[in-house]
Structure 1
Amino acid sequence: MLLTQYALFTSLLAATSQAWLPGEHRQIISRDGVDLFNRSSLHEAGLLRKRYLPDNYGNDKNAIRGVNLGSLFIVEDWLSDDVFKGFGCSNKSEFDCVLSINDQDKANRDFRGHWGSWITKDDFTQMVSYGLNTVRIPVGYWFLESIVDKSEHFPKGGEHYLDQVVGWAKDAGLYVIIVLHGAPGAQATDAFTGQLNPTPGFYSTYNYDRAYQWLEWITNKVHTNPVYSTVGTLELVNEPERNSDTAKYPDAKANTDSMRQTYYPTAWSKIRAKESSLNVPSDSQLSIMMMDQKWGSGDPKEYLPDLNLAAYDDHQYVKYAGVAEDKDAYLRFSCNDDRSGNWPVFVGEWSLSVATDVEWTDEWNPNRDENKDFYRKWWAAQVISYEKTAQGWVFWTWKTSGSLNDPRWDYKMGVAAGLIGTNIDSAYSMGACS
């Protein structure tokens, strides 16, 4: 799952040269008699470092429990169609929006208004009240404006708002994962990259070099800016191409090979070199995350220079898993869904959305009272599975807006609608997987 200080206490452990993984053991006692898995013990012993664990990581299951901040720094029209509509711009992607506005100053003002208001400090207080301990923040490469080409059209001024949001998360005691969600050239042909390229253009020396600069920039901020003190994991790229994409993109397999053989190990080395130049001790280094092997791009760890503080991201949208359109089938699937594989892993994206062709029928409509018990149990089943076979989860997403109006994609709305519990531990007493 993560957490940047896996190696925090390795010198205290009796016999291991490998970083300790939260959740791997329920109790680890140091030579000095300190329970290294107990936050109170660590405070008393004066051993707890800034980025070790989220404030309430000591929940009953020792699990990451979080939400994504989707559509905040990379607007996705399907999640928040009112944003681009309010700007009066193309709704295809951020690139297309800025291009269609044809006025950089206006585009900057529009996006700064969104960044400064769509998520507020109160949101983080609310997250904590729901028992959440982590946020995953999708960010585009254009937040480092010096690496944006003149031919590329993106809003400017985002760094200040990223600092602000990360600071709010820190103030709330939330652990932060920052992910390169929009890579230079686009790692996929989807608007979640910030642009809609006809083919993925990320997999080249030029764009890898720009991504390395972005990773070094974020790494420097984490270790030099106090508001980043609860940022512990940096994800190298979100949802890259898969090997199976060759039917649509003949270069897909070559691209995924290039990513694993060149981008991943070089990015790893760049991050560690930056930390070394800043004299960051090994027990304060960032955890480095990649999509897991289940994603379909090959084994991410195959060419890494080492595995210390490596972590893996697994995305599981049951909506697309081909499950029979039957509520019991959904529950059985999720109760038996083993997400283990590359380790440590957590489910970094998931939702309560069901198959598209039935999602708004009477039998599946989440707004009908007779269906809410199913959604509560299915939420519980996924929580149980992702905490049992992985090391926790991050729901997609915290908030939506505009016409989507679907609590199955919106954690806040899901809680308000009674589909998601405010006491996450209650998932284990709902009988979802009995």
Structure 2
Amino acid sequence: MFASRFLSAALFLSFLRIVLAGLPKKIYGVNLGSWLLLEPWMLPAGWLAMGGEMCSDCSTCIASESAFAEAYPEKKVSAEFNKHWATWFNQDDVNELASLGINTVRIPLGYWIIEQLVDKGEFFPKGGLKHLRRGLRQLHDAGIVAILDHHALPGVQTAQQMFTGRCTRDVEFYTDYNYHRALVWTAVMTGMAHLDPMFKGAVSIQAVNEPIMDATLTPGYGEFQKNFVLTVRAVEALLGIGVHARFPHFPSANFTAVLTEASNTNQFNPEVQDALAAAGPILLQIAAEFNIQPVFNVHAQDGGQREPLTTNFMDINWQFNDPPNPADATLGPQGYDNHLYYSPTSVSCVLMIPQGVADPNPDAYLISICNLRRVENDAAVGNSPLWFGEWALSTQFDASDDFLRDWADAQKLAYSKGQGWIFWSFKIEISPEAGDTARQWSYTEGVKRGYLTRKPAELHNPHVCDDFVEQ
């Protein structure tokens, strides 16, 4: 129903011929964790200095962005977070990543970076969009592309996680109201990616980071996946990107006027129409705030030659109990993400451990990773290309330095069978409070210690799996 109301069959086929736009053929990346979406376990000393707290249950103290913003006056929240945003990731970090051959970053974002989407009674820091624009420009200038990762969704998509911005057991993302807010966020980000020169390096948008794994608890998620893609493609079509020759003509030169016109037609399904209608005024406000009104002239764009964004989902195997297949939502370039950790963190923010996790010893870990068939299995259900958007050197045993070199090599070998990998995270605080967390969770620290190679495509031991591959 969705595709028939949006695009003709011929247009659908034309989309399928598009290769993944903007992303490198092989991704060597890092997550910019705790930059614009702060997770206190990654910088405990810094968080405590800001005025935050650490506790065993992150819902019972000031251990998330929302709790912090609710606990303190707006002036203090603004001052502390602006200082954090400016210092946690800046030009020095960009230079270091470029020197290490990183070609892609994944930027975790909360929905509240678009402040107009925050409801009364919700509390979050303000001003992050300015820093996102600054960081994207610095990354683009260094030749590094970015995935805009919707990491924390309206209503919270997963319980009791710092990465959702609010630690709570009340998961309310999977509702029509919050699906709508997420689609508006998507329309705004797509518009910014194509219209704001500071966003030139943004080449992909991820719909939802780590939804609940049990698909019986995520009603409507399959429909949302389709509407997410339709929203991205609708905004692009209105800009004449990718499909402009086959799409009805909207005569207005001003993009926000085009959005208004499009939202009043039957060319889109009602959910997409509503998202377009809500996105127009928000884009106008952002344009005024950052004095970028001229770029919202459709005819000022680069001859319609900008490539479409790559839409991006967690793969079908992230969920169980008859999950929707995100491949069914495909309209244009699309990629798939999987996260693989063999160990949780030591705090209440427990990361998902893969089913059938290996026994906690070096040989079991290497047997598991060297025989991983996730790329092949995903391809069999249309979830290709696949990349691994989060992984680390974490273990459930006391790993030696020699093992961590092998563990890094073996994971890189496995993940490079797909389109590549994105390490979590680019850095971790070095402090007594953080202990030795950086040893296994920080990419830059891993390079300094010699576990990870300075050139990401290289391995210390390309034969690391030879003795562990099962015939």
What TM-score, normalized to structure 2? 0.73
Q: After superposition, what is the alpha-carbon deviation per residue over 1:242-291, rounded to whole angstroms, capped at 9, x for unaligned?
A: 11xxxxxxxx61x4241112x11112111111112222234711111111
Per the alignment, residue 162 of structure 2 pairs with 191
How far residue 325 of structure 1 moved from its aligned partner, in angstroms, is: 2.0
Q: Distance in 2 between matches of 1:162 and 1:414?
A: 26
- Which of 230, 251, 258 is equivalent to 2:201? 230
Letter in 1 for 2:325: P
Kept in 2: contact 1:166–1:176 (CA 8 A): yes
1:394 alignment partner in structure 2: 422
2:146 aligned counterpart, secondary structure: strand
What's the counterpart of residue 309 of structure 1?
A: 333
Tell me, yes or no, if the aligned pair for 1:292 and 1:299 is still in contact at 8 Å.
no
Specify the alignment match of 1:272 in structure 2. Answer: 233
2:26 aligned partner = 63
- Inter-partner Cα distance in structure 1 for 2:14 and 2:82: 48
1:210 aligns with 181
Matches within 5 A, 1:47-62: 52-53=22-23, 57=24, 62=25
**1:372 aligned to which of 390, 401, 425:** 401
Measure, in 2, the Cα distance between the counterparts of 1:300 and 1:197: 28
Residue from 205, 209, 218 that aligns with 1:256: 218
Give the distance between the partners of 1:226 and 1:281, measured in 2 at CA: 19
Structure 2 unaligned segments of length 5 or more: list them. Answer: 1-12, 54-61, 244-305, 344-352, 467-471
Query: Which ranges of structure 1 fall in alignment gaps of 5 or more residues?
Result: 1-14, 23-50, 244-251, 365-370
Whole-angstrom distance in 2 between the partners of 1:195 and 1:161: 21
Corresponding residue for 1:348? 389
Mapped to 2, the partners of 1:337 and 1:431 lie a distance apart of 16
Q: Report the residue type matching 2:309 in the other structure.
A: L
Corresponding residue for 1:410?
442
Among all aligned residue pairs of Structure 1 and Structure 2, give the percentage whose two residues are the same amino acid. Answer: 32
For residues 339 and 391 of structure 1, the distance between their equivalents in structure 2, rounded to whole angstroms, comes to: 12
Deviates more, 1:333-342 or 1:217-226: 333-342
Tell me, in whole angstroms, the C-alpha distance in 1 between the residues paired with 2:403 and 2:313: 33
Which moved further from structure 2: 270-279 or 157-166? 270-279
SS at match of 1:419: coil
Secondary structure (helix, strand or coil) at the match of 1:311 reads strand
Q: Pick which of 376-385 and 316-325 moved more.
A: 316-325
Q: Please say if residues 221 and 324 of structure 2, whose CA atoms lie closer than 8 Å, have aligned partners that are also in contact.
A: no
Q: Distance in 1 between matches of 2:390 and 2:80?
A: 28
> Are 1:89 and 1:98, in contact at CA under 8 Å, matched by a contact in 2?
no
Deviation string 1:30-75 (CA, Å, 9 cap, x unpaired) is: xxxxxxxxxxxxxxxxxxxxx634xxx4xxxx42110001111111
Aligned to 2:37: 74
8 Å CA contact 1:377, 1:431 repeated in 2 = no
Shift of 1:16: 8.7
Q: Which range is displaced more, 416-425 or 318-327? A: 318-327
Contact 2:426–2:444, Cα closer than 8 Å, also in 1: yes
> Once the 2 structures are TM-superposed, how far is the Cα of residue 428 of structure 1 from its aligned partner?
6.8
Q: Determine which structure has the larger helix proportion and give its number.
A: 2
Cα displacement (A) at 1:397: 0.4
Match of 2:459 in 1: 427
Paired with 1:209 and 1:18, the residues of 2 have a C-alpha distance of: 26
Please give the per-residue CA displacement for 1:93-123, whole angstroms capped at 9, x wherever unaligned: 110111112x012101110110011111121
In structure 2, the residue corresponding to 1:348 is in which secondary structure?
A: strand
Q: Distance in 2 between matches of 1:333 and 1:375?
A: 15
